[in-house]
Structure 1
Amino acid sequence: MEAPELLRLWVLAAVALGGSRAALPDHRVLPDDRVSSKTGAIFVHKLERELFQEAFLTGREDDGVATPITFQAHLRDHPDLPRWLRYIQRDPHQSGYLYGCPTATELGTHTIEVLAYNRHTYETVAQRLIVTVIPAPGGEPPYQGEFLVGNRNVEELLPVATRNIFLQATAGVWEWDDLHIINITSALDRGGRVPLPIEGRKEGVYVKVGSWGTFSPCLVAAASPESRFRCSLGQQPLASCYDTFAPHFTIRWCNLTLVSPTCPPPHPMKHPHPLLTITPLQLQVWPNPTTPGPVWGSGVLEEGGDFQPPTDAPPQDLLPGYLVTLLVPLAVAMLLCLLLGHLMCCRREGVQKRDLETSDIQLVHHTTIHSDTEELRHMASSRDGPRPLSTLPMFNVRTGQRINPMPTPSDGARVPLLPP
């Protein structure tokens, strides 16, 4: 394509794009929303549909039907969210959630840009969410337990009321009341399978709860090696306490994970649950040894430094590999050739053996066919010979008179084949 034609196409595309943008509804921007989050605790921010729906120019629901709204969120000047933050919206007619657990490396201010789309009118409303991550006053709790809730999806556990109900049920099993949720993760993010589209089937949610109080004997028994062995056999784990999660939450006790320090923490213990009495029990979990990772440099050589290329690889003896690669296929090919030659040359019956095993009638029949074939070939080679008897007509095609196909010599000379 020539340059003038390409330039003309670019100009037309720019004009068409400008016209389409002018036809779109106006883009509105809501005031910034500033929130704070602590390290070691769950952060949940609900994207209210009603707030963005009122900001649209159309503004209201039509005939009582909720307007489908889709949210998109990303870190400012980045295409995706921070690694500690996740987004979930199950349906365009439901609100969206931003949730996650910031760590000590995430301290500071994070600006999240949220864009809401009206799926009917294609209007857009933007809002900036400014999240300030501050360190927790007492640090992360030393005792942490992770529960797998099998009958819930992740967005069902994010509302504040549901989280409070879960903490109350956890306090009945943990036997301490200073609990708080550290993180909530969907089972799909942990390698779980998508459930079948059957009513009542849920994805499952991992809920990590932390406390300054030690684990109860019930939790220790549920996470003991005996319980793990029973779970491997398909049996229920050991649990001596009453399951206070039922009937709201179905806990998969075989997936219970407990993490505790090797020594008691210096933080003062709070009072236990007022309605329960416990026996203090320390659960020691040895930390897994960690392999130090590589230390990344700046990527720039220091002043006066020389680049040291990697040393050459030591010479290797490639002869054995070459011989194996070359000789093994040749040996296999030779064996196949010998086998094929034996079958084709050494296993033949021969004409004499075949004739001895064949009956005399079949041999005579075969000889007759062979002699007739030779006769036909000889007659075809010389066209001057007499016509074969099988080709003579038996009747006159005009008069219908029948004629002897094998007349006597006297009759054959007098009777014409076709009357005049």
Structure 2
Amino acid sequence: MIIKFIILGIFTLAYAKDANVLMTEVFAIQLDPLMFNWTFEDSNNQFVYQASLLNAPDLPSWINYIYSEQHHSGFLYGVPPKITETIPLEVVALNKRTYETRIENLDVIISEKLNSARYEVHLKIDNLNVKDMFDVDKMEALKNVFRKELWRDSSFDIYVTFLSSAIELGARKPLNPDEGEGVVIRLGSEFPFSAELLELQEEVRPLWKVPACPRDFKRTSVERFFREAGFALDWCSFRLVDNNNSAMHHTNGNLVMEEQEHHYESNDIWHSISKEDVPRRSYMHELLVSFLVPVIILIILGLLLSFLLCFESEDIDDEDEKYFFNLFHICTDYYYEHYIYKRASQIDDMSPDQINHAETIHRPVENIRTYNRDMTLSPDLCSHSNSPNSTINRGLHCRPSPPPYIRPKYKPDL
């Protein structure tokens, strides 16, 4: 049984498909039903593809996968690293109608590119997606704009050195789902930049301060060439890049202007991390600061308030104490003025029977209130004499009774 599996594995490797790619150049490998000996039945999304490294769960970091409904195929694309090596891939295909699964091995053979690009033009196209750039006619139309109008010297060796979705580089999705998400692309050549490209860069240099230009921005002298070919460029992202001095170091908002080079290694396989590798930190410092600082501030404020109250209390005069002591008398005077005398004015309008009845009810209450009021008033302001024979109307404020009459002694002169 084991020998059977070994023979089957050797047979599969012997018939593995090859894909030759070049360094620094974007490649695109199409995954279609013909690759798995299937016939296309004109059904959208009938086939599903999943690619990964052989005996690994994912693809290398420099290989991307996307499915195009326009071509009814999947695409593996990317830029190979500068290393000569063969990368074994495994592609799994699923027929969603019959649930049949087939596996194909694909060897990506990386070769060195002769006369690689030394000068690159960085572009951002707003009205297209990455899927659209796999169309040969669309890609050739973009190259022809440079071959015929802007970079005539590069007509023989111009090629794509970078391709990525603007969303993956940090741009936002458009509000209208029918619009393209945007494509960031670089075209490279061995020949230096033309005078037209240098003039165009100076023309759009003031726009580098803006994060992104509107999609209807048409204020460039060469806009008509791209519009006629069906490309709407973001001129705020236009840059010229060479090996010596890169204009890409200028920031342009949402897009990452300079991508790091990805190097594939033989051990570029994902490994799960262990619990010991997870970093740890202590929160004791934060807890002490959040607790001690408010407590210290509260203690300082309490001591300061106590200090002020202790020293300010010694400056209070005796007259102030008398004022607070007589506050109660002010309240009682207000009560007698607004309630007692108002009731007295109402009694004048009542009949004699009603007056006798009211006096019978309120006399005990008035006696109690008068007694309480006389007891609470200070001796200097009110007399404690409650004689019913007194005919003096003391009014609102209690006044002391006059001194008793003393008969003068008899004098002979009188």
Q: Does 1:184 align with 2:153?
A: no
2: CA distance between counterparts of 1:324 and 1:218? 65
Residue identity in the other structure for 2:226: F
Percentage identity across paired residues of the two chains: 25
1: CA distance between counterparts of 2:53 and 2:181? 27
Are residues 322 and 205 of structure 1, via their aligned partners in 2, closer, same or farther at CA, if it must alter by over 3 Å?
closer
2: CA distance between counterparts of 1:93 and 1:173? 31
**Which of 242, 245, 250 is residue 260 of structure 1 equivalent to?**
242
Residue identity in the other structure for 1:159: D
**Which of 78, 99, 114 is residue 122 of structure 1 equivalent to?**
99
Residue identity in the other structure for 1:129: L
In structure 2, what is the equivalent of residue 196 of structure 1? 175
TM-score (norm: length of structure 2): 0.56
The answer to whether the 8 A contact 2:78-2:163 is kept is yes
Q: Does 1:146 align with 2:125?
A: no
Are residues 37 and 357 of structure 1, via their aligned partners in 2, closer, same or farther at CA, if it must alter by over 3 Å?
farther
2: CA distance between counterparts of 1:73 and 1:100? 14
The answer to whether the 8 A contact 2:49-2:74 is kept is yes
2: CA distance between counterparts of 1:232 and 1:241? 20
> C-alpha displacement at 1:230, in angstroms?
4.1
Written as runs of structure 1 = structure 2, the 5 A alignment for 1:2-401 is 32-52=16-36, 54-55=37-38, 61=41, 65-66=43-44, 68-91=46-69, 94-105=72-83, 107-138=84-115, 140-171=116-147, 172-176=149-153, 177=155, 178-199=157-178, 201-224=179-202, 227-230=204-207, 232=209, 239-241=220-222, 243-247=224-228, 248-262=230-244, 285=246, 327-332=296-301, 351-358=328-335, 360=337, 362=339
SS in structure 1 of the partner of residue 185 of structure 2: strand
> C-alpha displacement at 1:240, in angstroms?
4.4
Are residues 35 and 334 of structure 1, via their aligned partners in 2, closer, same or farther at CA, if it must alter by over 3 Å?
same
Deviation string 1:173-220 (CA, Å, 9 cap, x unpaired) is 222213111121110111011223433x11110111111222123322
The answer to whether the 8 A contact 1:104-1:135 is kept is yes
The answer to whether the 8 A contact 1:67-1:120 is kept is no
In structure 2, what is the equivalent of residue 278 of structure 1? none
1: CA distance between counterparts of 2:247 and 2:162? 23
Which structure would you say has the larger Rg?
2
Q: 5+ residue gaps in structure 2?
A: 1-11, 250-288, 309-320, 343-360, 366-414
The answer to whether the 8 A contact 1:85-1:99 is kept is yes
Deviation string 1:312-353 (CA, Å, 9 cap, x unpaired) is xxxxxxxx99986753242346679999xxxxxx9x996544
Are residues 108 and 327 of structure 1, via their aligned partners in 2, closer, same or farther at CA, if it must alter by over 3 Å?
same
SS in structure 1 of the partner of residue 80 of structure 2: coil
TM-score (norm: length of structure 1): 0.55
Alignment RMSD (CA, Å): 4.4
- Which structure shows the bigger proportion of residues in helix conformation? 2
The count of residues paired between Structure 1 and Structure 2 equals: 277
Q: 5+ residue gaps in structure 1?
A: 1-28, 263-283, 289-319, 340-345, 372-420
SS in structure 2 of the partner of residue 44 of structure 1: strand
